């Protein structure tokens, strides 16, 4: 009898450990209509078990996480991989449901970042990735590139970036070289230098440069990360004007760029 009891206890712990590992096994749920329907049905049933006034993290775990784990999938892995998959997904019922899943769960993490980790909704790594995704997902890749060039410019000029030197960096790195323009304009743009950019005879060309640059770079986003040397706000309208004061990256922007990793595009 004692041996049987010990055997049953041992069997219980084996089963328990097996259940625990399946919840965090790293397997993500493929985006199929069958999977999404099963998951959403599970969420609908789970929502009924949530008590009024229940802790927000506990409620989120019951509604979003446990139904997915009951299907044998890892919640963190599914959330991250769904975001990646949706970057190139066409319009289908499954992708629409997957988008709803991402929107609801990332919104919850954004509004409860530390609680999400402390309460066991997601890991610290997943939380950090989601917050980075939400911050940078709409930013054009060339805006990031332009910000990094500001950093390069100020590193070469005692911590501040003069507009003419910044333009020279953009020219040297082909960020102002636009294939869409006719060959005459292309050659004129290539011949621009930081020294002659602001001469009156170049203004018609420079206005085209500004127009194309604005289409590639989100000026509003760019301005959020810049300040003048005296701490004043940088007006990115007429960014290439000769009277533009030297500027630099905000300290917070420098830290963000150091950690920038567009994992959702990979």
- Domain map (residue ranges) of the chain: 2-136, 141-259
Q: What is the pTM of this model?
A: 0.76
Cα gap 261→159, rounded to integer Å:
24
Residue 165 confidence (pLDDT): 83
Q: Of 63, 71, 70, 72, whose CA–CA distance to 25 is shortest?
A: 72
Mean per-residue pLDDT pooled into runs of 10, the chain (266 residues) = 40 34 71 96 94 93 96 97 89 92 97 97 97 90 88 92 83 68 66 61 67 73 87 78 80 87 90
Longest C-alpha distance within the chain, in Å?
100
Report CA torsion sign: 65, 88, 213, 149: positive
Q: Helix or strand or coil: residue 227?
A: strand
Query: In terms of DSSP H, where are the helices of the chain?
Result: 2-23, 33-47, 56-60, 66-70, 75-86, 93-111, 113-118, 124-136, 141-155, 163-172, 183-191, 203-216, 219-224, 251-259
**148, 235 Cβ separation under 8 angstroms:** no
Residue 2 confidence (pLDDT): 42
Residue 190 confidence (pLDDT): 64
Residue 236 confidence (pLDDT): 76
Cα gap 240→10, rounded to integer Å:
73
Cα gap 59→208, rounded to integer Å:
54
The burial class, CB within 10 Å (0-12 / 13-18 / 19+), for 140 is: middle
Residue 23 confidence (pLDDT): 53
Residue 22 confidence (pLDDT): 41
Cα gap 76→94, rounded to integer Å:
19
Please name the residue that has the structure tokens 């970042």: 113
**171, 177 Cβ separation under 8 angstroms:** yes
Q: What angle do CA 169, 173, 174 make, to 5 degrees?
A: 120
Residues written for the chain: 266
Residue 168 confidence (pLDDT): 80
Residue 111 confidence (pLDDT): 97
Residue 6 confidence (pLDDT): 39
Residue 266 confidence (pLDDT): 79
Residue 262 confidence (pLDDT): 92
**248, 160 Cβ separation under 8 angstroms:** yes
Residue 8 confidence (pLDDT): 36
Token pair, residue 15, equals 């089963």
């Amino acid at each position: 009898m004692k041996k049987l009891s010990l055997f049953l206890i041992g069997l219980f712990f084996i089963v328990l450990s097996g259940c625990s590992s399946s919840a965090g096994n790293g397997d993500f749920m493929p985006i199929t209509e069958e999977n999404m329907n099963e998951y959403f049905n599970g969420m609908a049933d789970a929502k009924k078990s949530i008590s009024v006034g229940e802790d927000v993290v506990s409620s989120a775990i019951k509604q979003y996480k446990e139904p997915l784990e009951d299907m044998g999938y890892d919640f963190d892995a599914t959330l991250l991989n769904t975001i990646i998959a949706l970057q190139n997904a066409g319009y289908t019922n499954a992708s629409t449901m997957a988008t709803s899943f991402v929107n609801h769960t990332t919104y919850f993490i954004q509004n409860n970042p530390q609680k999400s980790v402390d309460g066991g909704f997601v890991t610290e790594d997943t939380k950090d990735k989601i917050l980075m995704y939400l911050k940078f997902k709409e930013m054009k890749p060339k805006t990031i590139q332009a910000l990094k060039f500001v950093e390069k410019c100020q590193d070469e000029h005692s911590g501040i970036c003069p507009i003419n030197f910044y333009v020279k960096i953009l020219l040297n790195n082909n960020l102002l070289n636009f294939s869409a323009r006719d060959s005459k304009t292309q050659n004129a743009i290539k011949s621009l230098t930081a020294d002659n950019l602001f001469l009156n005879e170049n203004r018609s060309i420079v206005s085209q440069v500004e127009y194309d640059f604005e289409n590639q770079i989100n000026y509003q986003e760019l301005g959020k990360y810049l300040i003048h040397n005296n701490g004043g706000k940088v007006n990115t309208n007429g960014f290439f004007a000769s009277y533009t004061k030297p500027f630099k990256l905000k300290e917070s922007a420098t830290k963000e760029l150091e950690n920038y990793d567009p994992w959702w595009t990979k």
